[in-house]
Structure 1
Amino acid sequence: MERSLERFEYVPRAEKTVRITLAPSEAPGEPIHGELFSNFLENLGASFHGGVLSQLLANPTMAEHNLPQDQRDLLNAYGRTMEQIHKLNDEERSELVNWRPRKLSTGFGSFIFDDEADDLVPLPWRIRPRGRGRGGEPGRVGPAVFLECDGDKVVLSQGIVPPIHREERYQGYVWLRAIGEGKIKVEFRKRDAVGEDDLGSPLAECQLQWPSAQWTKQKFSLAIPASSLKPFEPIDFCVTITGTGKVWIDRVILEPEDSIDGFDPDVIGLLRKLAPPILRWPGGNFASGYHFWHGIGDLDLRQTVPNPAWGGIDTNFLGTDEFIKLCRLIGSKPLICVNQGNGTAHEAAAWVEYCNGSPDTYWGRKRAENGHPEPYGVEYWEVGNEIYGPWQVGHCGAEENARRYKEWSAEMRRVDPSIKLIATGSFSDFLDREHSWNGDLRWNESLLRHGGPNLECISLHALPENHRGFPAGHTNRDIFKDLLAHVWRWERHDLPELFLQAEELRPGEDIGLAIDEWGILGAAHLPEVGNAAGAIYGALLLNMVIRLKERVRMASPNGLFHAGCLRKFGPVLYWDPQVEVLHRYSRFAGGKLWRVRCEAPSYDAPRNFTAQAVSGVPIVDAIAVQQPNGDLEIVLVNKDPEEPQSVVIESPTFGGSLQVVSAEVLSGDETLMNTPLAPNRVKFEPLKEAVQISGPSLQLEIEPSSVTCLVLRGV
């Protein structure tokens, strides 16, 4: 902990000018490790369908939707908005620049166009004419849709927004069977029909063979004519039958031809730029009810199941093999979080064997049969997620968590002794009994005492909430400053106490820390993970973990596609301001940390629901990293939402050759966010006023609520 104090020495001062003094570290230590800039992917909201996967159809397996009514209502409302966007002029679109969809239940992306679920049609499919079919029929591996044709035309359709900005050709397949006689085809049609049972204008079609009474898989391809659609314009994908037959449809897959092994090319391209060193999966809360064997083997034999954590459905289209493929595509190391909720130690060990076992082991042979004879060699494994919380499947108390970790870790290490393990810790030990989830404030202590010989790293989630426990009369900006103080409280009080406890109970064992979910949670109209406030909190959190880099083994935000994250609305890929900060900080991997002395005013923050009170919080935080090429990068964070700060930066290494290579700032109202129609309004931009160089010092003014990044050369 002494290293953190040396790396950021804070001296309170009443004078308004902030004075920063920089110096190379006398004991440089190891470079900053990239694992601090990792990420996290969970089956939540539009993370899988409508996110990383290229599959365009929601609920392709015709399953029960498992959605509460309010979620259905929002999906329909967002669909009505999407239906109109391509029809709007610039002035009308400008009225929607602040609109963006909320995070929703899983399996349906961010919107749907049709909802006939009350007529027993699987969401979001529809059948025309109405009443000529139904869902819930026995299918091949799950439910099927039944269509009946009586000498006329019957259509099963779903509205989609194809990514025509990059691809006009599409391909897929359908599982179906039939009796009687007829014709069948798949089509793209515009959604310009007038009457209730009318069909839209045709765009493309592909004839299929009328199937037998046995289930058959038929492939198809479709091409949208060039310039036939406007940006954002939705179309219908249709399965159309004519004749006098009956057809059962089990599942339909539709992808753009430029799909990269089942993943969205736009997403893969951006993830390769972000390059998270570690990618955590499958949860999150989802992990506590996930059984890995549901997501392995032939994709067409995997069953769709309810998502036990978030509502909606899990098609199991992104299982272990697909996750490993994704990690390899983007250059990330996988971190798998095993089910410590309703799972077992035997199941966790089996998962390790599936990933790392040789082909002559039971689960290693299963992996080989699934087309992957070489072991994956997954190094990082986490045992459970937030199992202290009543929101978790199989939640438990402190002693039981320690017992489970001891048992799970032993079974997993018996399969592969080389794996690195992370245990489930709890931030609520830092609170008082009234606010602690585990009540007795002994969660981490129990783990340290009774977690067994395989305990080496403890996870904590830095997830302050923005809507509970603040003093009456607190404004948004008061809440903003209090939330930012959460990081200072952790760095100067809570984490030192945890490290001291670990050293007392496990002397010489060097217990590490994984902050594998971080970000401000809560109401979207307040400072939170998805707006500018989330980016500023993220910079402070990353400053902290960099200063604690010897103890913090990895860190990741909460998460890649559901909070402070990448977002997709139909074909539009955009991202929250926090992603800008994380990407900027990822450049520090391999750099050398300099010492910072900061003289600045301070403020006090009262207790709230997720943090104790803390006093003497510096209004400005700073970090300085020297890159291998010699450039010095400095980040200044202004926590004051109202006042700019005048800053002087000095260093004995600054001389006559000093130059400012770049000076950029991310700033703005704390609740400002990027949206589908204003995707780039919160980002790093050049400083409005130049940085002044005067001898061995720099002078600049940093904006309120801001993250300012400087690159200096000639230091």
Structure 2
Amino acid sequence: MKRVTYFADKNYKVGEVDPNLFGSFIEHLGRAVYTGIYEPDHPLADEDGFRKDVMELVKELNVPIVRYPGGNFLSGYDWTDGIGPIDKRPTRLDLAWRTTEPNEVGIDEFMKWANKSNIEPMLAVNLGTGTPKEAGNLVEYCNHPGNTYWSDLRIKNGHKDPHNVKVWCLGNEMDGPWQIGQLSAEDYGKKAREAAKIMKWVDPTIKLVACGSSSAEMPTFPEWDRVVLEHLYEHVDYISCHRYYENLGNVNDFLGSFADMDNFIKTIASTADYVQAKNRSKKKMYISFDEWNVWYQKKVELKDWEIAPPILEDNYSLLDALVFGGLMCTLLQHVDRVKMASLAQLVNVIAPIFTQKGGPAFKQTIFYPFFQVSNYGRGEVLNTLVDAPTMETNKHGEIPLVQSSTTYNPEDNTLSIFALNCSEDDDLLLDAQFRSFGSVKIIDHLVMDGPDLYATNNFDSPDNIKPKKYDISSEAGEQLEIKLPKMSWNMIRLQCETKL
């Protein structure tokens, strides 16, 4: 059996995990909102029309923050269409996805859902067809206590207390030709700067996210990010990035997606650091990776102008879950710069939770690695030293057979190892050394693997693919041997016997 040397030391840390690393995304797209989080006629709907079964699954994932209302939808959206009495709201064409938007759910309804789901909102302002002044109006509506036009309108609409939204995105993918109101980096930088000034004048306590490149494959990347940050560096707190992955026929390339994400993050961070140096700034720019996932970008033929059609409804396989786990490890490895991330999306649309209209909901395969890292990957990320065999890929070159990350949680004195074994042929033996932690003991080892990499979960077999307990040794020590089955995702939890 091939061996992997794995060394973790309490003195070598990447940084603290910001809980917002485990955020997600709800867009007015497909069935994410309507028959996703909101379905008034469903047997499990609450008094506000929200599906309680979906809320419980969201709480299980321990999602702390959710981006809303888009996405591409954002750049044609007038937020005032979604406030006030529902029966008086206009029905609009959504040009981004060629659907019809009934506006039954708007800012106030989303805030109700967020509060019930224990979620902080990350709202986005329209900088496509929208204006900086309208962005400021939305902040006033949400955050100002009262005695102004927009705050009094919120109170009139039944929300006496401010929503107190603290994180705001300045538009969405404004570099893309598919975006309503696409702008050059220069024009976006100027427009976003004016919006940022107005928004922070309304509420100086808010945090702002600048719109970064929508993909590493954009011809303007990373020049877009440089120009935008030169306009916005002292006005914003984060630069956003988006990246999706799919299986294009080469399993090794797909498994190695984590290497691409790693390079993408490093490029954005170095671009931000260049602007910091050029501006002679003392401020460090952080990254909001506010769209990421496995996404099969296949064309689906639908009728135009439907309400909540089934768009982008990928059914994820075991292989997808393995790749997804590797991507989560990469996010953990960069917690010193990536402070927020939004899994795109949360329900039905390329999502870990899938619902049936009027029926049940089930957990997709990617639900499980997200659940594990979100719940057990809190605390400090250790700068783990790994010496592993490698494999060659066409797209990423040589990559290690093991992609992993280790966290230490001082609250319960536990270590969590998250590990992807990319080998199609070999189990790997992790020679794990934890000398600075004293004696440690394995308390849990959960594995996702199986003979069929393309097996999925569905309404008939909702538990077809899920983590299973692996045989663990009862021995304790400063050095442990941990078996990683071939083509598997692993979570190993260790109890440290001595409190550090």
- Give the structure-2-normalised TM-score: 0.89
Q: Tell me the C-alpha RMSD between the 2 structures.
A: 2.5
Amino acid corresponding to residue 25 of structure 2 in structure 1:
F
Deviation of 1:390 (Å): 1.5
Give how far 1:362 is off: 1.1
In structure 1, list runs of 5 or more residues that go unmatched: 1-14, 57-161, 164-255, 468-474, 608-613
Question: Residue 444 of structure 2 is aligned with which of 646, 657, 662?
Answer: 662
Tell me how far 1:350 sits from its aligned partner: 0.8
Supply the distance in 2 between the matched residues of 1:17 and 1:37 (Cα, whole angstroms).
31
Residues in 1 aligned to 2:175 and 2:315: alpha-carbon distance in whole angstroms: 23
Is 1:20 equivalent to 2:2 in the alignment? no
Residue 361 (structure 2) aligned to one of 570, 573, 583: 573
Residue in structure 2 matched with residue 710 of structure 1 by the alignment: 492
- SS of aligned partner of 1:541: helix
Is the 8 Å Cα contact of residues 256 and 399 (structure 2) preserved in structure 1?
no
Pair 304,549 (structure 1): closer, same or farther in 2 beyond 3 Å: same
User: Are 1:370 and 2:144 an aligned pair?
Assistant: no
How far apart, CA to CA, are the structure 1 residues paired with 2:267 and 2:473?
A: 36
Deviates more, 1:674-683 or 1:478-487: 478-487
Letter in 2 for 1:520: V
The yes-or-no answer on 1:287 pairing with 2:66 is no
C-alpha distance in 2 between matches for 1:347 and 1:412:
10
Whole-angstrom distance in 2 between the partners of 1:530 and 1:25: 38
1:670-691 deviation digits (Å, cap 9, x = unpaired):
433211211122211112x434
Contact map agreement 1:24 1:593 (CA 8 A) in 2: no
Please name the residue that 1:503 is paired with: 276
The alignment partner of 1:409 has SS state of helix
Checking the alignment, whether the CA contact within 8 Å between 1:693 and 1:699 is kept in structure 2 is no
1:641 and 1:45 map into 2 onto residues whose CA distance is 36
The equivalent residue for 1:454 is 235
SS in structure 1 at match of 2:490: strand
Mapped pair 1:297 → 2:84: yes
TM-superposed CA distance for 1:600, in Å, is 0.5
Amino acid in the other structure paired with 1:652: R
Residues of 2 paired with 1:573 and 1:639: CA distance? Answer: 30
The equivalent of 2:251 in structure 1 is 477
The letter of the residue matching 2:386 is: C
* Residue 674 (structure 1) aligns with: 457
What residue is the counterpart of 2:294 in the other structure? 520
Equivalent AA in structure 2 for residue 451 of structure 1: L
CA shift, 1:501, in A, is 2.2
Paired residue type of 2:254: F
Q: Distance in 2 between matches of 1:304 and 1:50?
A: 18
Residue 274 (structure 1) aligns with: 61
Identify if the C-alpha distance between structure 1 residues 39 and 512 changes in structure 2 by more than 3 Å, giving closer, same or farther.
same
Kept after mapping to 1: 8 A contact 2:319/2:454: yes
Q: How much has 1:453 moved relative to structure 2? A: 3.4
Residue type of the partner of 1:327? A
Q: 1:43 maps to what in 2?
A: 28
SS in 1 for 2:192: helix
Please state whether the residue corresponding to 2:208 is helix, strand or coil: strand
Q: Which amino acid in the other structure matches residue 47 of structure 1?
A: A
Relative contact order higher in (CA < 8 Å, ≥ 6 apart): 2
Task: Report the residue type matching 1:558 in the other structure.
Answer: A
Q: Which structure 2 residue ranges, 5 or more long, are not aligned?
A: 300-313
In the TM superposition, what are the counterparts of 1:245-644 in structure 2 within 5 Å? Answer: 259-426=46-213, 428=215, 430=216, 435-438=217-220, 441-451=222-232, 453-467=234-248, 475-490=249-264, 493-506=266-279, 507-522=281-296, 530-561=316-347, 562-570=349-357, 571-588=359-376, 590-607=378-395, 614-627=396-409, 628-644=411-427
Specify the code of the residue in structure 1 equivalent to 2:334: L
CA distance in 1, matches of 2:477, 2:101: 61
In 1, are the aligned partners of 2:434 and 2:479 still within 8 Å (CA)? yes
Q: Does the C-alpha gap of structure 1 residues 392 and 375 become closer, same or farther in structure 2, counting only changes over 3 Å?
A: same
Hey, what's the Cα distance between the residues in 2 that align with 1:347 and 1:695?
60
Equivalent residue letter for 1:458: I
Deviation (angstroms), 1:648: 1.6
The amino acid of 2:152's aligned partner reads R
Q: Note if contact 2:2-2:426 (Cα within 8 Å) is conserved in structure 1.
A: no
**Match of 2:34, SS?**
helix
- Match of 2:351, SS? coil
> Per-residue CA shift, 1:28-61, capped at 9, x if unaligned?
58642211111111111111221111223xxxxx
Task: Look up the SS of the partner of 1:51 in the other structure.
Answer: coil
- Tell me how far 1:260 sits from its aligned partner: 4.0
Equivalent residue in structure 1 for 2:481, among 682, 690, 699: 699
CA contact (8 A) 2:166 2:207 kept: yes
Shift of 1:339: 0.8
CA distance in 2 between counterparts of 1:361 and 1:539 reads 48
Shift of 1:317: 1.2
1:24/1:260 CA distance change after superposition, 3 Å: farther
**Residues 279 and 335 in structure 1, CA contact (< 8 A), matched pair in contact too:** yes
* Whole-angstrom distance in 2 between the partners of 1:705 and 1:24: 29
* Alpha-carbon displacement from aligned partner over 1:276-316 (angstroms, at most 9, x marks no partner): 11111001111111110000001111122222222222111
Q: Is the 8 A contact 1:20 1:649 kept in 2?
A: yes
Cα separation, 2, equivalents of 1:572 and 1:676:
8
Residue identity matched to 1:577: T
Superposition deviation, residue 524 in structure 1: 7.3
Q: 1:498 Cα deviation (Å)?
A: 2.6
**Number of the residue aligned with 2:306:** none
- Work out whether residues 643 and 703 of structure 1, in 8 Å CA contact, stay in contact via their aligned partners in 2: yes
Q: Count matched residues.
A: 478
Closer, same or farther in 2 for the Cα pair 1:351/1:633, shift >3 Å? same
Residue 594 of structure 1 contacts residue 626 of structure 1 at CA under 8 Å; is this kept in 2? yes
**Partners of 2:402 and 2:484 in 1: CA distance:** 10
